[in-house]
Each structure stands twice: as structure tokens, then as C-alpha cells.
Amino acid sequence: MKKLFKFAVVAALVTGIAKAVSAQKAKWMGLSESQIRDKLHTKLDDKMPSEKVDEIGDKIVGEMGKRGLLGEQPLTEVDDAPTVPEETPTDA
């Protein structure tokens, strides 16, 4: 009976850790590069130099990009959109 109880406790711990890791992963998935960098700076700027946070951000963004976990960067400039010249009516 003690072995079954120990097994249940270990299984509960493993399940709890897996759920916690999954929840943390879900918070970061789909973020754009700028959102990831902002989040890192918010959490780590008071604990380490900004240059070090930038290095960490480069590594994280690079790895997430390789795995396809980065979200799309929102378009901020409208000037990049292709323009179609307007046609002028001609009288024949």
C-alpha cells in the first residue's frame, strides 16, 4: 500500500510540473520578436545589465524562430503597401 501511495505522489508531482511547464510555454508562444524582447526587458532589467538581456533575447528569438514559434510582426507602416496608379478616363 505504501508503494502505491508513493507512486501516486510521484505521478501527481510529475503531472503538476508538466502542467506548469505547459502553461509557461503557452505564455511565450505566438509572441512577436518585439514582444519577446519587451517582456524580457521588463522581467530582467533590474536583475542584470541591459546588454546581457539583449544577448539572451537574441538567443531566445533565434531559437524560437528556428522552431517556428514566433508570431507575426504587426505592420506599423502603411507606406510599404504596393500602390496601384489610378487610371484616368480618356474620351475617344
- Distance, in Å, from the CA atom of 11 to the CA atom of 5, rounded to the nearest integer, reads 10
Q: Which three cell numbers stand for residue 76?
A: 506599423
Residue 84 lies inside a defined structural domain of this protein: no
Task: Please give the tally of structural domains in the chain.
Answer: 1
User: pLDDT tens digits, residue range 66-80?
Assistant: 888 787 765 555 545
- Distance, in Å, from the CA atom of 51 to the CA atom of 1, rounded to the nearest integer, reads 55
pLDDT over 60 at 84, yes or no = no
User: pLDDT tens digits, residue range 54-63?
Assistant: 999 999 999 8
Domain span including residue 40: 27-69
Residue 7 lies inside a defined structural domain of this protein: no
Which residue's C-alpha cell is 539572451? Answer: 56
What angle separates helix 50-67 from helix 33-44, to the nearest 10 degrees?
Answer: 140
Residue 63 lies inside a defined structural domain of this protein: yes
Residue 56 lies inside a defined structural domain of this protein: yes
Residue 42 lies inside a defined structural domain of this protein: yes
Residue 60 lies inside a defined structural domain of this protein: yes
